[in-house]
Structure 1
């Protein structure tokens, strides 16, 4: 089996690259490899975890997207690379019953793009991997949601019996994921109470604690954004502890370096990311953090036909600083490689200009009604602070822009209307 351009990883950047190239070059030229059958926009996983977004309605089938956009989908995980022979190995696919669905296969390529994203970095904290949930994939978010439902039901039953208690949720990491999850959980817990857990006083009985190791939450963003976020969390009765270094995690509690103990029925790890470990077995040059080293044209150093983008790639900016692991960076890198491969396919000269990251700002969601963030201007260092309904609409538009890239304008509009109508006829949270 062979494809001229093989893209490994169907996240935001990899999928957009496959769709745009497929529409321009066709399925005989482009193949997308992924270990899952459907795609979800990773920044929305906190909504899946809280139950405010139904993964079965949100997920987009790679096979459908391949059919509609003109690329070939290959189901399975990349397990090995032979750079000299220009081929990759795709591991077998095994069903939940243990039955093999697809055997191990080899896929030859003319050019290869690795876009496998990132995974959680536990920094060696004892118990972190065993006793926390990290929102890396849809199954993680669904496991969190189902565990939360069970804990809420048990807490409500205890209240009926006259026993004190509640649910303690600890979120480790005060970046965008941790902050958005905390706010979404507070909003969702009130909805859950209305749908059958009415004996719970959610402000008192659903206790949410956010632990951050830096002096402030949302440390990479401007202080005004961080301050506004802290205020919004306080209004939602979410406890925030900064300068908190977690040293140990156990099944029912979290301990920090000062010896403080935080009760925890449900613990989320959102304190850092790293490149997937299997990249170390591919024989490609890696940075200290495990990312693949690429040059200014996103080509892997020392390789003529292998590229990498997104969180798994170490790409330096014009200021010789690493490009941040953000969805907007992956989107920009995908567009850059679209131009690279289209020029290549049409026999044109390669791009002269290297890829340059453009920071358009960041927005942080606080539930379904408000957001906060900063927008970057065209002048260096100029930014605008935004919050409230306008910021929320802008945040939602980012999701729609991603859908537009993979579905097209008309289908994105129809999908947005359909989801609006569905939300008016179904529970506000997923209850099953």
Structure 2
């Protein structure tokens, strides 16, 4: 798929087509793909890409994933790199090969055989997977939001739960009113954004007549956090203001509540609470994919590849890692770079320059993360966040229209990194026009 490199070309394999991996492969392909001196290969287990911060909107139905997905094979053709479909299951560091599992379709039929790919430079950007922390019933009864398929599955179950409830097939209040209970475990950015989007979804589904439930009285949203406040990774002011906005949306917030079990119809906590749940979403934590533990490289307590400031792995200078799957030093905070989209974007930009230097035999620079702040979207209701940097002399709290515009711009910057300014502009106009001719929520 895409442009094949010659046998004598230096072969760079990027494993993982998330935001950072796809941006890196695109830029490297644009730089080297036409000349053939360097062969750039992108590997991913899915044929399509979607920006992961959008998945809560897919789950709530406010975004149709089909209109925002990008075909890796098409991107490879347009930007002169090769795409290989398959999941990485191992690396032979001595032979310098990557092993891919066979790819099977939805019917279980093998489409591509298991195979190995040779590399000269290997870049790992395979992201993260959900961390259930060993909570009984979590993997069986809670839905994670790692993929577009999982998010769309939740959306379908949400619509079904609302329709069942209005027809008397679900649970009911003490006064006999039908109700739907949605529990969200984890009040980080994903959990908070999903809770706000779901309130909007309940209102839209009611407006379109899919159910006759009162969107606020009958659809109950429970946000459950083990820590003392929501958005624990952000500033206390952002957390406090976001909690006020969520309470106005009648989202039930439970803090300092450690989940001990997920039942098919309830969430149980260490304090003894029994929270009804027709649907449960797990957004409480992430860890590195298990395959990284098989590579014989130093890993962090979360299973991430430990990297040097050059983003080279400890123990193998030919293997780089970045994004959620890497533990990258952040000296200013005496810790590691946080797993955020802005970090992956900065690291992809850094690696583009660093790999060029490596190919030219020059010393590798050191990566320095610049925290530009954080934004949390509450759908069309509002947005909150903080900006950081030298231009504003520290941190500045923002909310409302400005925060919403800046949040939207983050995705547009990603689109521009993949397609350029012209196509990004056309894409923006196309999606705006489509939004005027379609329901605000995906109804089927």
Equivalent pair of 1:292/1:308 in contact (CA under 8 Å):
yes
- Within 2, Cα distance between the matches of 1:8 and 1:198? 44
Which residue number in structure 2 is paired with residue 316 of structure 1?
Answer: 329
Write the deviation string for residues 30-56 of structure 1: whole angstroms up to 9, x where unpaired.
110000011000001000000000011
- The SS at the match of 1:358 is coil
Equivalent pair of 1:156/1:197 in contact (CA under 8 Å):
no
Which residue number in structure 2 is paired with residue 107 of structure 1?
Answer: 117
- Within 2, Cα distance between the matches of 1:281 and 1:198? 49
Which residue number in structure 2 is paired with residue 264 of structure 1?
Answer: 277
Which residue number in structure 1 is paired with residue 101 of structure 2?
Answer: 91
Which residue number in structure 1 is paired with residue 178 of structure 2?
Answer: 165
TM-score (norm 1): 0.96
Which residue number in structure 2 is paired with residue 397 of structure 1?
Answer: 409
Which residue number in structure 1 is paired with residue 306 of structure 2?
Answer: 293
Write the deviation string for residues 122-161 of structure 1: whole angstroms up to 9, x where unpaired.
1111111111011111111011001001001111222999
- Within 2, Cα distance between the matches of 1:379 and 1:52? 35
Equivalent pair of 1:9/1:34 in contact (CA under 8 Å):
yes
Which of 215, 222, 244 is equivalent to 1:231? Answer: 244
Which residue number in structure 1 is paired with residue 28 of structure 2?
Answer: 21
1:6 aligns with 2:6: no
- The SS at the match of 1:4 is strand
Which segment drifts farther, 31-40 or 313-322? 313-322
CA shift, 1:163, in A, is 5.6
- Within 2, Cα distance between the matches of 1:235 and 1:158? 28
- Within 1, Cα distance between the matches of 2:203 and 2:80? 44
CA shift, 1:343, in A, is 2.1
Equivalent pair of 2:96/2:119 in contact (CA under 8 Å):
yes
- The SS at the match of 1:418 is helix
- Within 1, Cα distance between the matches of 2:273 and 2:235? 29
CA shift, 1:177, in A, is 0.4
CA shift, 1:98, in A, is 2.1
Which segment drifts farther, 2-11 or 39-48? 2-11
The 5 Å alignment of 1:32-71 reads 32-71=42-81
Write the deviation string for residues 187-212 of structure 1: whole angstroms up to 9, x where unpaired.
11101111123521010111000011
Aligned-CA RMSD value: 1.8
- Within 2, Cα distance between the matches of 1:385 and 1:360? 12
- Within 2, Cα distance between the matches of 1:9 and 1:388? 34
TM-score (norm 2): 0.94
CA shift, 1:164, in A, is 2.6
1:411 aligns with 2:418: no
CA shift, 1:368, in A, is 2.5
